[in-house]
Chains A and B, each alone.
Chain A
Amino acid sequence: MNESVLEINNLAKSFDDVCVFSGLNLRLDANEIVAILGPSGCGKSTLLRCIVGLEESDQGELTFASKRGTEGVGYLFQQPILYPHLNVASNIALGFRTKPSKKERQRTIARELESVELEGFESRRVESLSGGEAQRIALLRAMLGQPEVLLLDEPFSALDLETRRSITAQTREWLKHRNTAAIHVTHDPEEAELIADRVVPWAALFDHREEE
C-alpha cells in the first residue's frame, strides 16, 4: 500500500443548519490523482474549500502527511484568477514561496511557460489571454509553490470541448511528471476518466470504503 498524503475521516460541514455533507471519508495516496464525480451543487467545491482551509469543517479530521499542512496544498479555482494589474510573469511570480533573485525568477518563469507551450508570454496582459491560456497560467502559478496536494475545482469546465480535453490530458502529464497528488472535482465523467488514476463517485465518499 502506498503512503497517504491526505486522510479525511468523518468530515461534516453545514451552512446555516443546512447540511452540505456529513460522514465524508477519503484517502489520497502519494502521486495519486483522484477525481470526485458528482452533480453540480452536491458540495464538491465545499469539500475542497474545507481541505485547503478556506472553510472550517464542523466535524471530522483532516490529516496531512506533510508538516506543511494546508500550506502544502495548491488550489485551482473554477475561473482562473489572474490579477489584471500584473502581467503574466508577475502573476506567476506570486506563486514563489520565497522571493528568488531577479535572474532566478526570470529563468524559472521562462522555463515554466515553455513547459506549457506559452513561451514568450511573460509581458502579456492577462486580459489578452484566452480561457485555456489563462487556466494554464493559473496552474503554473499554483505549482510554483511545490504543493504536495493540488486541488482542482472544475477548472476546465468553462473551456470548449477540444481545449478541455487537451488541457486535461496535459495537466495529468504535468502532475505525474512532478509527482504531485491531486484531487479533481468534476461533473463530467469523461474529464474524470481522462485525468484520474481513480474516480470516486460523490456518494461513495460516505461509505467507509471508497468504491472505484
Chain B
Amino acid sequence: MPRNSEVVGRGFVVISYVMLSTLPFVYAMARLQSVTSQTPLEALLNFPEAYGAIDALRFTLLEASASAILTVLFGLPIAWYLGRYQWKHATLLRAVFSVPFVMPAIVVAMGFLLLIDQQSLLFKAGLDLRTETGVIGAYAQRTGWSHPGHFLALIIAHAWFNLSLIIRFVEPTVARLDPAWEEQMSLLGQGQSTYGRLRHLWWPVLGPAVLCAASLSFLFSFTSFALVKWLAPFNHTLESLMASYGGSAGIANYRVDTSEIVMSASIVQFLILLGALYLTSTLQRRHSNRFALVSEHGAQASRGPPTFKAKITVYAGFVFALAPMIAASTASFRIRNTTDTGTRYTWGMEAWDAALAGNLSTLSVTEALANSMIFAIGTLIIALPVGWVLASTIHALETSNHHRFAKALDVATLLPLAISAIMVGLGVLLGVLKSMPSLFQWSLLPILPHVILTVPFVVRIMLPAMRSVDPKWKEQASVLGLNPLRTWYHGYFSFIRGPAVVASSLTLAFSLGEFGASWLLVRTGSWDTLSVLVDTLMSRPKFDPLVQPTAMAAATVLMMLTFFLFILAERFRAEGEGGGF
C-alpha cells in the first residue's frame, strides 16, 4: 500500500506536469482567441482562408509522407542486415546509426547544405539540389514544380534524421527472433517462396514496428523546423509558418492577421499530430514481443558472417550517416579566399579562433556552450525526476489494475509531442507576456519548454524499464534485513540505473540541440545557445569568408558533445533493446 504522503507527492507532480505541458498551448490559444476574437472552431473553419496556410499544409503533408516512406526505404535494409549478422564493432555501427536522431537539427541542416552546395560531389555529378540547375532545373521547368531540388534535399535530410527510429524499432526483433521460426516457415508449403515468408512471417513480426517507426518519422518530419528553414527556404510547413508569424502573433491590435494564421495553423497541426500519436501508440502496443526471442548472439551466430550484400548495404548506410557530420566538421577548417584571379579555398584554424573569441559580434562558442549547458543541466534536474515520477505513477496504476488511468496518463505524457516545439515556445512566450511580463527577462526561461519537450522521452525510456523489474528482487532485498535505502538500491534501482543514464544523456542531448523553442525565446541577447548561435551566424550575409566556417565550428562543438553523450548512453543500453525513445 503506498503511503498517503507518496500519493500526495505523486499527485502533485502529475498535476503540475499536465498543467505545465498543456498550459502553454492553452495560454497561447486563449491569447490568440482574445486578439483575433475567433473561437478555436472558427479558427479551424477559417483555416483555408488564412494566407499561405493551405499551401503550407499541402507541403507539410507531402514532405512528411515522403520523408516517412524514404526513411523506411533507407532504414529497413540497414536494420535487416544489421540485425541478421554478427558485425565487428557492432556497438560503433549502432551508435553511428542512432546518433542522427539526437543530432541538433540545425547541425544537420548545415551538414546537408554543405553536401549539396556547389563544391559538393553531388553538384559535380550533375545533381544540383540547391540552385536547381541542370537535371533538377530541367525537371522543374518541365513539370512546373517549383523547387523539386529543395524538396528532395529536405526529405533526404529527414530520412537521415529519422534513420535511427526504424533501426531501433526493427533491428532488435530481427536480431533476436528465434531462427527456428524462420526455419519452420521455410519448410511449410506457404513459406516456400520469399513472398510467402514475407507475408506469413516477416510482415506480422516486423510490420507493426515498421509502421510505428514510419508514423513517428511522419510526426517528426511534420514538425521539423530548422531543416525546412534552411533546406527548403521557399516553402513553409505549418511549423515554419507559425514560427515566421510567431514574432508578431498574440499582440493586441497589431498584425491581427498573423495571429489568425498562427491560431488556425496550430489547431490543424495539433489535430493531425494527435491522430499520428494515436496511431503510433496503437502500433506500439501491437509491437509487443509475442514472438519467441533468443539471445541476439545466438541468433546471429547461426547465420554466419555478413554477406557481401549485407556489407554493401550497412557500410553505405554508415557513410550516409556520417557524411553530413563530416562535411560540417571539415567545413570549419576550410576558408574561402577570393582574389582578383578567382576563389580558392585554404585550410586553417582561423574560423575556430573566431568562434572561440566571438570575433563576429556574437557570443563566443564557449559562452554559447556554457549557456547551452546551463539550460541542459537545468532541464535535466527537472525533467529526470518529473519523468521518473510520471513513469513510476503509470506503472503503479498499471500494477494496481487502474489500467484506464494508466493509459490516460500515458497519453497525457505524449501530448507535448503533439504540440510541437514552436507551439510550446510560443505558448511560453505568450503566456509569460500575458501573466508575468517581467519573467521574459529571466534568462533561464528556455528551461521551461525544454522540460516540457524532454519529459516524454524520459517517460518512454523509464516506463518499459520499470515494467521489466521483477518485484521479487525488492521482496528478496527486504527480507535480507537491509535498510530501506539499500533495499531500494539493490532491489530496484540497480535494475533501472542503465535506463536512467540513457534518459539523462538523451535529455541533455535533446536540450543542447533544441532549436525551435530556444529560437523563439532567446533570439537576441546574451543567452544564445549553441544552436541559436549557429543559426545566427548562418543567417548573415557571407561576405566575410569566416562566417560560414565559424558557424560550422560551433556546429561541430555541438555535434561532438551530442555524439559523446550518445556514446555514453549506448554503453548503458541493454542488449537488443529497441524502440527506446
Contacts and interface: CB of A to CB of B under 8 A. Distances in A.
A97 B181 contact: no
Interface in B188-221: 188-192, 200-201, 204-205
Contacts of B574: none
A99 B192 CA distance: 12
Given A94-B190, A95-B188, 12 more contacts: A54-B183, A54-B187, A73-B187, A77-B180, A79-B180, A94-B189, A94-B191, A96-B190, A97-B192, A141-B188, A142-B187, A145-B189
A123 interface: no
B188 A83 contact: no
State the 9 A-B residue pairs at the shortest beta-carbon distance, nearest first: A97-B189, A81-B184, A85-B204, A145-B189, A94-B190, A84-B290, A94-B188, A75-B187, A96-B189
Contacts of A145: 188-189
Interface of B: 178, 180-181, 183-185, 187-192, 200-201, 204-205, 290-292
Question: Size band of the A side of the interface?
Answer: 20 to 34
24 contacts: A73-B187, A74-B187, A75-B184, A75-B187, A77-B183, A79-B180, A81-B181, A81-B184, A83-B181, A83-B200, A83-B204, A84-B290, A85-B290, A94-B185, A94-B191, A95-B190, A96-B189, A97-B189, A97-B192, A98-B189, A99-B190, A141-B188, A142-B187, A145-B189
Contacts of B292: 81
Contacts of B180: 77, 79, 81
Interface in A48-81: 52, 54, 71, 73-75, 77, 79, 81
Interface of A: 52, 54, 71, 73-75, 77, 79, 81, 83-86, 93-99, 141-142, 144-145
A178 to B, nearest CB: 16
Nearest to B203: A85
Contacts of B192: 71, 97
Contact of A94 (B183, B200, B205, B290): B200
Contacts of A54: 183, 187
A104 to B, nearest CB: 14
Contacts of A144: 189
A109 B184 CA distance: 19
Contacts of A75: 184, 187
A71 B191 CA distance: 11
Contacts of B204: 83, 85-86
Given A54-B183, A77-B180, A77-B184, A83 B189 contact: no
Contacts of A93: 190
Contacts of A141: 188
A79 B178 CA distance: 12
B184 A95 contact: no
A13 B507 CA distance: 52
